[in-house]
Structures are given as C-alpha cells and as structure tokens.
Amino acid sequence: MAVKHRVDLAPLEDVLAAYAGVKGSLISILQKTQEIYSYVPEDAVYLISARTGESPAKIMGVATFYSQFRFAPAGKYQIQICKGTACYVNGSERLIDVFTEELGIGNNETTPDGLFSLNVVSCLGCCSLAPVMMINDRVYGLLTAEKIRRLLRELREEDETV
C-alpha cells in the first residue's frame, strides 16, 4: 500500500493564481508543482482540479504521460543510470541489477528510508564513459559492479555522519 504524503498546499496557491484562466497551462502548473514539492502530491492534483476545472483523472492522465513527473518524494540521492546503446553494450543492464540487489528497488522507485531513488534513462550523453550514471549532478563513468557497491556504501556512511 502506498504511503500518503500530506503536504502544505499554500505554496501552490501562487502558482494557481498566476495561471488562473490561462488556457493550456496544465503542464506548466504540474512542472511548477513538482519544483515546489520535488514530486506531484495527490493533494495537489485535487487542488489543481478545483482551481482549473479539469478532472483529477485528466490531470493524472497528462502527468503520467510525461516521464518527467514523479508521484512520490524523490530520494536524497537521485541515481540516473544510462541504458543507451554504448552503456548497454558495456553492461549497464547488469549494473541496473546491482542497484536492485543493493537497494531493493527498481526503476522509478525510492528506498523506504528516502535515501536513494533509481531512474533508468535513455541517454546521459557521456558515451565515452560508458557505462555511466549520475547521482544528483555528478557523473560517474566506466562503472563496474564493485564501483557501484563502494559508492553506495560511501554515500550511506556519509549520510550517517551528517
């Protein structure tokens, strides 16, 4: 069963006021919502519906069509692992399995402690470093299973000392 995350909707009011009556603004509203909360909360969908007159089903239909939108809080460490051609040829599929083994999550999931989110992406544009991943804004290339395991250990240890 999914955990319901209660959020303060007050910050969203300014966004909704700015787009009031603006046709075709749903995607912009959803993008601003995600900027505020780091995801699109269920409560926000209902508020957006009430203010725009669009049904919650239509809002979710639009939001789920685009891969940029998340529906649960993202982890502190947002991992993007490339599955583009160069990375795939160099073993990224096996490395994706390492994340599943080590973190217990799959694509588009977040660990229960909120520390890690995993997203498999089509290309990171760093083919000369294949296989490659990003964690937040840092690029890690020429990956191996052991490099990933070591990095995850280091991040966990770093988080424990903070």
pLDDT per position as a tens digit, 116-128 = 999 999 999 999 9
> 118 forms bridges with which residues in the sheet?
79, 109
Mark the ranges of the chain whose per-residue pLDDT is less than 70. 1-5
Domain that holds residue 50: 10-65
Instruction: Kindly state whether residue 153 falls inside one of the protein's structural domains.
Output: yes
83, 157: one domain: yes
| DSSP-derived pairing of the beta strands 138-140 and 109-110 | unpaired
User: Which residues touch 46 (CB under 8 Å, ≥6 apart)?
Assistant: 56
Q: Would you say residue 5 lies in a domain? A: no
pLDDT of amino acid 67 = 77
Largest CA distance in the chain: 54
Predicted local distance difference test score (pLDDT) of residue 135: 97
CA distance 154 to 76: 14
The answer to whether residues 132 and 95 touch, using CB atoms and an 8 Å cutoff, is no
Per-residue model confidence (pLDDT) at position 78: 94
> How many CB atoms neighbour CB 110 within 10 A?
22
Collect all residues with Cβ–Cβ distance below 8 Å to 41 and sequence separation of at least 6: 5, 7, 33
Instruction: Note if the pTM is more than 0.85.
Output: no
Do 84 and 154 lie in one domain? The reply is: yes
d(CA 124, CA 110): 20
Q: Looking at the structure, do residues 104 and 156 belong to the same domain, yes or no?
A: yes
Going by the DSSP 8-state scheme, the letter that residue 159 receives in this structure is H
Domain end point (choices 44, 65, 86): 65
